[in-house]
Chains A and B, each alone.
Chain A
């Protein structure tokens, strides 16, 4: 088996791995060899076609539809040069101070996370879209929320040269989204960091990674020939494969024995995609899809409402029912307004990543009654927003009818009964996967310390959303970058000691 040597091996190139690679890149000039091993492919620019099924299969694990063990949720997480930053909408929120307080990680303060978040906001050209670039789908949400007196904020977005294709979740075809694949990774490569795509790390040993390179038939070929490799990491390994694959890799590598919390405390921000139908066509698939969010229900009912716009297949599978009514609603596509709900779920020890018999990850996650309550309340609130924005009718997955007409707008609470919120029936998804290698005090309550160093393993670090001890309660990408920045700074500060 071929062997490769490096001083620092970073596994994963998403928000976390990209940030770590960028911060550590100056070490190359001091003679260190840094390698990033990325499972996914680096697509050629012409391969960003915007075709839904094709792009989903190329940029997401399981085409964006990984089932949880009980099949009540599907998970969408990216697999690409740049990880999930290739396929998110670019929303760049800084985590609220209350959340860092609730995390209660010894040594991790809000000021530190906030300052690092601002650094990445600046690097990634995060700004608010001007009013004239906001489409009807978003403006109607704002109007509906304001009519109801709900508090709304505008999303800061990491865009440069956005042309409003609305294809963010399928990979921007215009190079506009400033994800890790456009900012941190190219910068790291320019400084001499080697990024090896199409390379899956199967196991981590003592300063050693067992990896397999296999080109999938699209994207640029890997820098390494297909085959199995032993990659020696003379100094450290940084695990940044995300909240499913990082804990799974560490479990597969035998770290579960000394880290009883490994894989546990997973949170997902369980999500719904809801639609309201207007009389006239609105601009929905032209323009950036995500401009506003409503945090009116953040503290008490524990959910956020966000604007969104999805593609035909994703929209179809998020509607309840089938047959003629379903088709009728799909034919109204240019008249559909959409809202994404994020439930703010608790981090529980039994919600976890496990391994199946073949060593592949299984996400064992149970929706709590409180989360189902949040999802129910969010459907009622969203229906009110749609009607306040002028929708002629609304489709609520837990509705007692397929359509709720505007004439019944004052009866939405009655027409969306809580008992209809049935997992398995209603399409519940997640694109915010957090936890599994949570930060904390010691091995009894966590996997790493507040600098991402794995308890009891001085050469092993984690730098991705799996570090979150609880959910971030807002879109998490900027927070992932901030924590990864902190991990990288900790490594840089201690590099002399680590090299010794």
Chain B
């Protein structure tokens, strides 16, 4: 990825598997599309936004040490989820917003792929498909 250092890019994949479990089952092409979408979105933003995102990932990696004594990627999945759930609801607005931004990136990388649309039953058609009635 052009937008993130390798360590943060790797952490992003670990986080993606907790946020959208289906990303763990993506094949190489799917992972490639996921990373390309996220990379493209970050590269379109101001450099300060990219730096803030990378900084947030570094904080997210190290913060669990205070509570669990281990970095995020070394935690069992249940604790990873518990930590992320805490982050989503935590008292610090900027951390909540940071986690929201992370989720948005992961959702964009996965659900933004036309290839995953069919997996959730989304099949848009420019001619309106089957019409306005199911």
Binding site for B on A (CB under 8 A): 50-53, 57, 62-63, 65, 67, 70-72, 132-136, 163-167, 173-174, 280-283, 285-288, 311-313, 315-317, 320-324, 326-327, 330-331, 333-334, 360, 422-425, 427
A136-B133, A283-B131, A327-B20 as given contacts; A322 in contact with B122, CB under 8 Å: no
Q: How far is the CB of A228 from chain B (nearest CB, A)?
A: 21
Instruction: Say yes or no: A287 contacts B21, CB within 8 Å.
Output: no
CB-CB under 8 A for A71 and B89, given A286-B125, A287-B131, A322-B19: no
CA distance A427 to B104 in the complex (A): 10
The 8 Å CB contact of B126, one of A57, A163, A287, is A163
Q: Which residue of A lies closest to B116 (CB)?
A: A312
Q: Tell which of B94, B100, B117 touches A427, judged by Cβ atoms closer than 8 Å.
A: B100
| Bound-complex Cα distance A164 to B130 (A) | 10
Q: Could you give 30 example pairs across A and B, Cβ below 8 Å?
A: A51-B114, A52-B111, A62-B45, A63-B44, A67-B49, A70-B93, A71-B97, A135-B132, A135-B133, A164-B132, A173-B126, A281-B134, A283-B131, A283-B134, A285-B122, A286-B129, A286-B130, A286-B131, A287-B132, A312-B116, A312-B117, A312-B120, A313-B107, A316-B107, A321-B85, A322-B18, A331-B119, A331-B120, A423-B97, A424-B97
Give Cα A322–Cα B119 distance, bound, in whole angstroms: 17
Query: Judging by beta carbons under 8 Å apart, are B94 and A322 in contact?
Result: no
In the complex, A403→B27 CA distance in Å? 31
Residue of A nearest to B84 (CB): A322
16 extra A-B contacts, CB within 8 A, seeds A57-B40, A71-B100, A280-B134: A53-B40, A132-B132, A136-B134, A164-B128, A164-B131, A166-B124, A167-B126, A174-B126, A312-B120, A313-B108, A315-B111, A317-B108, A320-B88, A323-B19, A323-B21, A424-B94
Listed from nearest, the 4 A-B pairs whose CB atoms lie closest are A164-B128, A287-B132, A424-B96, A71-B97
B71 on the interface (CB 8 Å rule)? no
Q: In the complex, what's the smallest C-beta–C-beta distance from A119 to chain B, in angstroms? A: 30
A33 CA to B97 CA, complexed, in Å: 48
Across the interface, A165 reaches (CB within 8 A) one of B98, B117, B127, B130, namely B127
Bound CA span A326–B84, Å? 14
> In the complex, which residue of chain B has the Cβ closest to the Cβ of A312?
B111
Is B50's CB within 8 Å of the partner chain A?
no
Nearest Cβ distance between residue A325 and chain B, in whole angstroms? Answer: 10
Q: Which residues of B contact A321 (CB under 8 A)?
A: 85, 88
Q: Is the interface of A mostly helix, strand, loop or mixed?
A: loop
Instruction: Kindly state the separation between the CA atoms of A312 and B107 in the bound complex, as whole angstroms.
Output: 9
Cβ–Cβ < 8 Å partners of A334 in chain B: 121-122
Closest Cβ of chain B to A90, distance in Å, is 15
Chain A residues with Cβ under 8 A from B130's Cβ?
Answer: 283, 286
CB-CB under 8 A from A317, the residues of chain B are 100, 103-104, 107-108
- Do A312 and B122 have beta carbons less than 8 Å apart? yes
* Bound CA–CA A282/B122 (angstroms): 12
Are B96 and A327 in contact, CB atoms less than 8 angstroms apart? no
A422 close to B89 (CB less than 8 A)? yes
What is the CA–CA distance of A322 and B99 in the complex, to the nearest angstrom? Answer: 11
Instruction: Determine the chain B residues whose CB is within 8 A of the CB of A135 once the complex forms.
Output: 132-133
A132 neighbours in B (Cβ, 8 Å): 132
CB pair B122 A327 closer than 8 Å:
no
Contact residues in A for B93 (Cβ distance below 8 Å):
70-72, 422-424
- Greatest chain A CB density within 10 A among B88, B104, B126 is at B126
Chain B residues with CB below 8 A from A51, complex form = 114
Contact A316 B22 (CB under 8 A): no
Chain A residue contacts of B89, Cβ below 8 A: 422, 425
| Distance of B115 from chain A, by nearest CB (Å) | 11
In the complex, the answer to whether A53 meets B37 with C-beta atoms within 8 Å is yes
> Which of A63, A133, A316, A331 meets B132, CB within 8 Å?
A133
Q: Which residues of A contact B84 (CB under 8 A)?
A: 322
Near A by CB (< 8 A), chain B positions 58-117 give 81, 84-85, 88-89, 93-98, 100-101, 103-104, 107-108, 110-112, 114, 116-117
Nearest CB in chain B: distance from A40 CB, A: 14
Q: How far is the CB of A170 from chain B (nearest CB, A)?
A: 9
> Scoring B residues 12 to 49 as 1 if CB is less than 8 Å from chain A, else 0, what string do you get?
00000011111000000000000001001100111001
CB contacts (< 8 Å) of A322 on chain B: these are: 18-20, 84, 88, 103
Question: Which of A65, A163, A164, A333 interacts with B120 by CB under 8 Å?
Answer: A333
Question: With A and B bound together, what is the CA distance between A95 and B111 in angstroms?
Answer: 36
Residues of A near B96 (CB, < 8 A) are: 422-425
Known contacts A312-B111, A313-B107; A57 and B122 CB within 8 A of each other = no
In the bound complex, residues from chain A placing their C-beta under 8 Å from that of B20 are 316, 322, 326-327
- Given that A322-B103, A331-B120, A424-B93 are contacting pairs, would A163 and B81 also be in contact in the complex, using a CB cutoff of 8 Å? no
Which B residues are in CB contact (< 8 Å) with A424? 93-97, 100
Contact of A285 among B49, B98, B124 (CB under 8 A): B124
Specify which chain B residues have a CB less than 8 angstroms from the CB of A72 in the assembled complex. 93, 97
Shortest distance between the CB of A48 and any CB in chain B (Å): 8
With both chains docked as a complex, state the minimum distance between the C-beta of B59 and any C-beta of chain A, in angstroms.
15
Do the beta carbons of A313 and B111 come within 8 Å of each other? yes
> A132–B107 Cα gap in the complex (Å)?
34
Determine how close the nearest CB of chain B comes to the CB of A291; give it in whole angstroms. 10
A286 to B123, CA, bound (A): 9
| Residues of B contacting A423 in the complex (Cβ-Cβ under 8 angstroms) | 93, 96-97
Bound form: Cα–Cα A317–B98 in Å: 13
**Shortest distance from the beta carbon of A249 to any chain B beta carbon, whole Å:** 18
Given A53-B108, A53-B112, A321-B88, A134 and B132 contact (CB-CB distance below 8 Å)? yes
Residue of A65, A67, A330 most packed against chain B (CB within 10 A): A330
> Closest chain A residue to B92 by CB distance?
A424
* In the bound complex, CA of A50 to CA of B95 (Å): 33
